[in-house]
Amino acid sequence: MAMTVLVSHSYSAAPRAVPAAIRRMGPGETLELAVLGVASHGPVELDRIAPLVRALGGPGWSPTADVALACCERLLQIALLRCETADRIAGPAVVLTQAGRRRLRTLLRMESPVGRDALGATVAVLKVAFLHLLGAGDQWRELDRMVASMEEELADMREQTGDFPIRTGGVRLALGFELRSLETRIGWLAALRDSVAARLG
Pairing of strands 2-3, 7-9: unpaired
Do 108 and 60 reside in the same domain of the chain? yes
Q: Are residues 121 and 165 in the same domain?
A: no
For residue 184, what pLDDT band results from cuts at 50, 70 and 90? confident
Percent of the chain with pLDDT over 70: 27
| Domain, as residue range, for 194 | 135-201
Mark whether 104 and 27 lie in a shared domain.
yes
Give the pLDDT confidence score for residue 15 in this predicted structure: 35
Do both 121 and 160 map to the same domain? no
Shared-domain flag, residues 121 and 150: no
For 47, counting Cβ atoms within 10 Å of its Cβ (0-12 exposed, 13-18 middle, 19+ buried), the class is: exposed
SS3 111: coil
Asked if pLDDT for residue 191 goes beyond 80, the answer is yes
pTM: 0.54
Give the pLDDT confidence of 12-60 residue by residue, as tens digits: 333 344 445 444 555 555 555 555 444 444 455 556 555 555 555 555 5
- Give residues with Cβ within 8 angstroms of 17, minimum separation 6: 39
Question: Could you give the number of structural domains in the chain?
Answer: 2
Residue 46 burial (CB count, 10 A)? 16
Decide if pLDDT at 141 tops 80.
Answer: yes
Q: Are residues 93 and 159 in the same domain?
A: no
Q: Which residues sit opposite 2 in a β-bridge?
A: 45
pLDDT in tens, 74-122: 665 555 555 544 434 443 333 445 555 555 455 445 555 555 555 566 6
- At residue 160 the predicted structure's pLDDT band, cuts being 50, 70 and 90, is confident
d(CA 23, CA 118): 29
Which pLDDT score is estimated for 96? 46
58 and 130 co-located in one domain: yes
Is there a single domain that holds both residue 146 and residue 130?
A: no
Domain boundary among the residues 134, 154, 188 is at 134
180 and 109 belong to one structural domain: no
**Residue 9 pLDDT > 70:** no
Residues contacting 141, CB < 8 A, separation 6+? 27
Provide the total of helices (H) and of strands (E) in the chain, helices listed first. Answer: 9, 4
My answer on whether 109 and 145 are in the same domain is: no
